[in-house]
Amino acid sequence: MLRRMTALPPLHGLRILDASRLLPGPAATRILADLGADVVRVDHPDVVRGDLTRMTPPFAVTTTEGAPVDDAQGFAFIALNHGKRSVAIDLREPAGVERFLGLASEADVVLESFRPGTLDRLGAGWDAIHAVNPATILCSITGYGQHGPSAAQAGHDIGYLARAGVLGHSGEPDRPPLPLGVQVADLAGGALPAVVGILAALRERDGAPGAPGSGLGQHVDVSMTDASRALFQLDGAAVMAGHEAARGAAPLGGAAIACYRTYACSDGHVTLGALEPKFWRAFCAGLGRDDLLAHPGASPASPEGREIESIFATRTRHEWAAFAAEHDCCLEAVLTPAEAFAAARAAAEQGAMPATLAVPTTDGGTIDAPAPGVRFSRSPLAEPAAAPRTGEHDALPSPWITATNPEALA
C-alpha cells in the first residue's frame, strides 16, 4: 500500500542567503519564504549599522520605557522577516567574507541590494560566489541596474518612480503628482521582478521535461527604475510612438472619464470602474438615469460629469456598497488599510483567501502580518515563525541545519 505523503510548501528545500536590507530584497525573500524557501539573513553585527527596520517603530513588544524588548520587534521587520534566520557577518572583515562565501556555497540563491560593485570590492561578488559554487544564483536589486551612467547613484522609491515616468503620469493635472501609499518601485519594480528572475534562473539551471538544465547559476540584475518603467504595459508603446496623454487625461488614470473615477460621497470616497458598456448600463439602470447612458466618457468638468458627482455625494459608502451588491457595476468603497484588513478577515471566515497570518514574536506572543495573497490546491504555505534576532543562528555549525531538515546533520 502506498503511503500518502504530507504535502510540503512548493519551494521546500530551496536555500536562500539574503544579504539585503529595508524593503525590496526582504520583500522578495518574504514571498519565497512564504512558499517554503529556507531564508537566512546576513545581518551586520552592529544593529545600528544593520537593517533599519529592526529598530523602526512602532514595536510589537516594548519595555515599560517604550523601548523594544529586542531587535526583532519592529512591526515592519516582523512582517518582512518572520520565519527567516539570521547570521551576523561583517563583510569588511576577511573572516566575514570567508564565512559569507561558505554560506553562499551551500545556497541555491544569494540575494543582495548593495550598490553595484560593492560586493566585488569586498571579495564576495559574482565571480567569488561562482567560484565557490557554480550552481548558485546571485540576484542583485538596485535602483538603476549594474551598469550605465546612474548605476552608482543613490535613490529611493519616489525617485525611481520619478525617473521611470510613473510619477509624472499619476494624479490630477492641476495638482503635484503623488506616489501611491505603497512603495510601487520597491515592490512591483524590485521585489516581484527579483522573485520572477530567481525562479526563472532556477528553472534554467535545473531544467524541466524536454528542457535539460544547464546546472549553472547566473547573475540576475534587477533595476527598480527599469522594472517600474516596464509597468507601462498598456500605454508604453503608444507613448514611444508619440501618443502620450497628459497627466490625469489617460482613460485609466482615474480623473478623466465618468465611468472610471474616484468620487466623493457623503462620508468618504468610492470608485467606479464601469469601463465595459454592460457595467455602465447596470450603473445607470440602478440610478434610474437612462439619460446618462450616452455619457460614460464625460469629463469631470462637463455637465454630465458634475451631475454624476452630485449623485455620488448624496449617499454614504455603506449605501453605495449596498448599491454595488444589487447592481453589478464595478463600484467599490474606498477603504482605509485598517478597514480593508477587517473586511478581508470577515471574508476569509466565509472561505475567501486569508488576509493575515498569526506570526509569533520572540516573547511568545503573536501579531497579525499580511498574508501573501496566494494559495495552492495541494501545497501549503510555510508555517509562520518568529522573526530572528541579529545573529540568532550563529551558534549552529550551519544555519541550514534545522529541526525540519535533520538530514543536514549527517
What pairs with residue 358 in β-bridges? 368
3 state DSSP class of 112 = strand
Residues 6+ apart with CB under 8 A from 394: 87, 88
CB atoms within 10 A of CB 225: 26
Which residue matches cell numbers 470608485?
271
Q: Which helix (H) or strand (E) holds 262?
A: strand 260-265
Cβ distance 252 to 246 under 8 Å? no
Cβ distance 344 to 357 under 8 Å? no
The one-character DSSP state at 379 is P
CA distances to 177, 336, 357 from 367, in Å: 35, 20, 8
Q: Is 156 marked active-site?
A: yes
Q: Which helix (H) or strand (E) holds 219?
A: strand 219-223
* Active-site option among 34, 186, 221, 226: 186
Cβ distance 198 to 139 under 8 Å? yes
Cβ distance 117 to 126 under 8 Å? no
Phi, psi at 212, each rounded to 5°: -60, 140
The one-character DSSP state at 167 is G
* Active-site option among 156, 269, 368, 394: 156
Q: Cell digits for 361?
A: 514574536
Cβ distance 160 to 228 under 8 Å? yes
The one-character DSSP state at 114 is S
C-alpha to C-alpha distance for 181 and 179, rounded to whole angstroms: 7
303-322: burial string, b at 16+ Cβ within 10 Å, e else = ebbeebeeebeebebeebbe
What pairs with residue 264 in β-bridges? 269
Q: Is 295 marked active-site?
A: no
* Residues belonging to the active site: 156, 186
